């Protein structure tokens, strides 16, 4: 099943002609999730041919404009295009007031239900689940309350090896237990181990999003072992002081977090527009952690097992 992340905007506070402000689209098992929505996100979705009406969950990290000023416009466009399907928006305390101020100013009424969930400052835990995925939030270390997110698959069941199972002669009524990993003995005394007739479930995949944040080892338990980690790196190490002052990270710090959290691949982002080339971000991060990617807007990351 698909698990993909498309980078819609990878620049820090100020958009450039080639890099938008923060936004990402996550397609995970037919769930369509937008993370952050800087100004121009609706244009980026259009540019990269993503069907924005499919999006039914929006996660907002914090209320700095470069992460949220595109949200009123996107919601307005969804409405103008005749949306009826509901939309869930998760974000920090204050997001409800912000959205209402923008949508009410134009005298807007909405044909679809917008369910806005305000997350507690410094809170962490499960915020959404269905039969396929879970979404968790956790606190980042920024100037204003900011949430990181982890999107992960639910554990799949083991896979039945039909031929091996048929040979046992036990009733198909036992399949459910065997798929859950339990060994069984049927009413005739035939013993079958789960391992002999099923294959283990594939490991679950996870994507973790951390922006904006200063260096903080406190986030590691929440992003531990993720297949893909997006960690902001607004600056290079020689601007470490500026990074600390503004509660942002350097490429080196992002790499240190990726290493300690044992993720598989690190995507950097939220680059300050002072940097003309991003080659040094890659080099600096790779000194600590070997699997680093510098995205271009529109790049798609496929998360495989």
> 65 or 290, CB closer to its own copies?
65
Strand duo 228-232 + 57-59: pairing: unpaired
Residue 244 CB, nearest approach to its own copies (Å): 18
Phi, psi torsion values for 143, nearest 5 degrees: -70, -30
Active-site choice (2, 36, 66, 104): 66
> 143 or 162, CB closer to its own copies?
143
Residue 122 CB, nearest approach to its own copies (Å): 16
Residue 298 CB, nearest approach to its own copies (Å): 13
**Site of interaction with its own copies (CB under 8 A):** 13-17, 39-40, 42-43, 46-47, 62-66, 68-70, 72-73, 76-77, 80-81, 94-95, 97-98, 101-103, 105-107, 143-144
66 is catalytic: yes
> 45 or 254, CB closer to its own copies?
45
Contacts of 8 (CB under 8 A, 6+ apart): 20, 23, 24, 25, 41, 44, 45, 48, 50, 297, 298
> 47 or 167, CB closer to its own copies?
47
Residue 110 CB, nearest approach to its own copies (Å): 13
> 95 or 303, CB closer to its own copies?
95
Residue 109 CB, nearest approach to its own copies (Å): 11
Place of tokens 């499960």: 126
Strand duo 228-232 + 265-269: pairing: parallel
List, by residue number, the catalytic residues.
Answer: 66
């Amino acid at each position: 099943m698909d698990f993909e992340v498309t980078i819609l905007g990878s620049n820090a506070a100020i958009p450039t002609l080639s890099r938008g402000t923060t936004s990402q689209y996550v397609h995970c098992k037919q769930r369509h999730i937008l993370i952050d929505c800087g100004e121009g996100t609706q244009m980026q979705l259009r540019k990269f041919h993503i069907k924005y009406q499919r999006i039914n969950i929006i996660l907002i990290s914090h209320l700095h404009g470069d992460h949220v000023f595109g949200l009123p416009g996107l919601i307005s466009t969804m409405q103008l295009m005749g949306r009826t399907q509901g939309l869930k928006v998760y974000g920090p305390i204050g997001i409800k007031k912000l959205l209402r101020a923008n949508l009410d100013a134009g005298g807007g009424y909405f044909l679809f239900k917008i369910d806005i969930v305000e997350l507690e400052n410094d809170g962490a835990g499960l915020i959404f689940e269905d039969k396929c995925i879970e979404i968790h939030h956790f606190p980042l270390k920024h100037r204003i309350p900011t949430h990181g997110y982890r999107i992960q698959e639910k554990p799949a069941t083991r896979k039945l090896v039909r031929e091996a199972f048929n040979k046992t002669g036990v009733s198909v009524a036992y399949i459910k237990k065997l798929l859950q990993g339990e060994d069984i003995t049927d009413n005739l005394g035939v013993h079958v181990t789960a391992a002999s007739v099923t294959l283990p479930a594939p490991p679950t995949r996870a994507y973790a999003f951390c922006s904006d944040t200063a260096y903080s080892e406190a986030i590691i338990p929440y992003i531990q072992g993720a297949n893909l980690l997006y960690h902001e790196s607004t600056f290079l190490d020689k601007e470490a002081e500026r990074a600390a002052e503004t509660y942002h990270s350097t490429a080196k710090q992002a790499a240190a977090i990726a290493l300690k959290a044992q993720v598989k691949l690190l995507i950097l982002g939220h680059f300050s527009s002072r940097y003309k080339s991003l080659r040094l971000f890659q080099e600096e991060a790779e000194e600590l952690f070997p699997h680093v990617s510098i995205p271009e807007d529109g790049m798609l990351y496929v998360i495989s097992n």
